[in-house]
Amino acid sequence: MHIQKRALLAAGLIAGAAALTGCTAQTKPVTTPTPMAMQQQTAQPATAQPETAQPSPQATISVSEAPDSDESPAPLKLLVGGDEADTGAIEEQDELLLPLIETAEKLGWKAEDERSGEETQEKRVITLEKDDSRITVSWTVSDNTAKNISWQKDGLLIPVDARLTTLDDVVYVPAAFFEEAMEVSVANQQTNVIVSTPKPSDTPKLTEDSSGENG
């Protein structure tokens, strides 16, 4: 009787152990890292995922949107004495400029252009002659900048601000230069610039005093 109870108790213990073994077999064992392994894991640097490079704001600006500093002003049609000049007038900084040599030649002046000096600093003199009058326009060019501008007529300074601009080797001077030095009138009609000489006025004849009274 006692032997049967011990056999049944042993069988129950074996069955319970088998059940516990089956449960633990279905679950994965959890591996507890050792302190040395944890140190090795923390010592390795974390690799960050590469991010997509974002374009900078400047990279999105196209070349065509950049301002063009080399753009030349649009020429205006120039009529001198009723004839159209090959080179037109221009407006720069709200001032009307006319081609010096072309306009002068249309007005009957003979032009002579002289250059001297080196490439780094060049001196240029334009001489205009008509009848007994002589106009000289002289300046020096250094670093693509006109300096020491001077113009005279018959040895006297022309009372106009000395300013000139060179575009494509064409020299432009203010319209006031022609009005003062050559006694012409310049009219700016938006798209056309008209240069005309004043009409000769009739000189009144002097009448002799028939009374013969002197003072």
pLDDT tens readout for residues 104-129? 999 999 999 999 987 788 999 999 99
- Using a 10 angstrom Cβ sphere, with 0-12 exposed, 13-18 middle and 19 or more buried, the burial of residue 130 is middle
Query: From CA 17, how far away is CA 9, in angstroms rounded?
Result: 12
Query: Is residue 22 predicted with pLDDT exceeding 70?
Result: no
Q: Is the pTM of this model over 0.95?
A: no
pLDDT in tens, 123-145: 999 999 999 999 999 999 988 88
Nearest one of 119, 116, 77 to 99, comparing CA atoms: 77
pLDDT(12) > 60: no
d(CA 27, CA 199): 119
- pLDDT digit string (tens) for 181-212? 999 999 998 789 999 987 665 445 555 554 55
Confidence at residue 172, expressed as pLDDT on a 0 to 100 scale: 96
Give the contacts of 178 (CB within 8 A, at least 6 positions apart).
98, 103, 104, 107, 184, 186, 195
Dig out the tokens for 146 from the structure.
């006109």
Mean pLDDT over 22-47 rounds to 49
Q: How many CB atoms lie under 10 A from the CB of residue 88?
A: 20
- Cα separation of 207 and 158, whole Å? 37
Q: Is the dihedral of CA 81, 84, 87, 89 positive or negative?
A: positive
The identity of residue 92, as a single letter, is E
DSSP state of 63: G
**pLDDT tens column, 51-75:** 544 544 433 333 333 334 456 677 8
Range with lowest mean pLDDT among 2-6, 91-95, 182-186: 2-6
Structure tokens belonging to residue 167: 């575009």
